[in-house]
């Protein structure tokens, strides 16, 4: 992929991560007190839909790269073909979930009483809402 295209992809990804991880969380702080995930999502989803629609409107015809046949047959490597904001696999840092490393997730997500590892429900809440759940949630 040409250097200019990679820079554009990084800019778009950075914009999406920033909006999702910071702005999205700040706009949705009113929902953090409820323990009902459906209620939280009812508030978050329309806001996220508006954000994505505005981004698509502003950048609808922006090219993000050039794809070759070799790239397709090579396992789609180096092709940005899908926006997937819940996790990011960095070759140097490893996987991040909503911007948090595995170690950060292990430290911040709630555990069962006497448990040593975070509850899977806590990780699901983080992936669905971009918010670290409380123990009650």
pLDDT digits (tens, 9 = 90+) for 26-35: 344 444 578 8
pTM: 0.62
Domains, the chain, in order of start with CATH, read: 3-129 (1.10.580.10)
Q: Is the pLDDT of residue 3 over 60?
A: no
Q: What is the DSSP string of the chain?
A: --HHHHHHHHHHHHHHHHIIIIIHHHHTGGGGG---HHHHHHHHHHHHHHHHHHHHHHHTT-------HHHHHTTSTT-------SEEEETTTEEEETTEEHHHHHHHS-B-TT-SSB-HHHHHHHHHHSSPPPS--
Closest listed residue to residue 4, CA positions, set 65, 56, 79, 72: 65
Q: Do the Cβ atoms of 67 and 99 come closer than 8 Å?
A: no
Tens digit of each residue's pLDDT (9 = 90 or more) over 102-131? 999 999 999 999 999 999 999 999 999 999
What separation in angstroms does the CA of 50 have from each of 24, 54, 82, 137?
Answer: 11, 6, 19, 26
For the stretch 40-94, pLDDT in tens is: 999 999 999 999 999 999 998 888 888 888 888 888 777 777 777 778 888 888 8
Mean pLDDT of the chain: 79
Which residue, 19, 40, 70, is CA-closest to 136?
40
Q: Does residue 25 surpass a pLDDT of 50?
A: no
Phi-psi label, residue 131: left if phi above 0, alpha if psi -120 to 50, beta otherwise: beta
Examine the pLDDT at 10 and tell me if it is beyond 70: no
What pLDDT is attached to residue 33?
A: 76
């Amino acid at each position: 992929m040409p250097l200019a295209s990679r820079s554009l992809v990084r800019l778009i990804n950075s914009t999406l991560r920033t909006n999702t991880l910071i702005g999205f969380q700040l706009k949705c702080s009113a929902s953090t007190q409820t323990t009902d995930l459906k209620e939280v999502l009812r508030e978050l989803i329309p806001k996220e839909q508006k954000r994505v629609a505005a981004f698509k409107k502003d950048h609808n015809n922006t090219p993000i790269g050039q794809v070759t046949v070799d790239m397709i047959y090579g396992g789609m490597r180096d092709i940005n073909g899908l926006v997937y904001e819940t996790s990011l696999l960095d070759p140097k840092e490893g996987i991040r979930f909503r911007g948090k490393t595995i170690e950060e997730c292990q430290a911040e997500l709630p555990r069962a009483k006497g448990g040593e590892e975070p509850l899977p429900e806590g990780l699901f809440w983080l992936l669905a809402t971009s918010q670290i759940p409380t123990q009650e949630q």
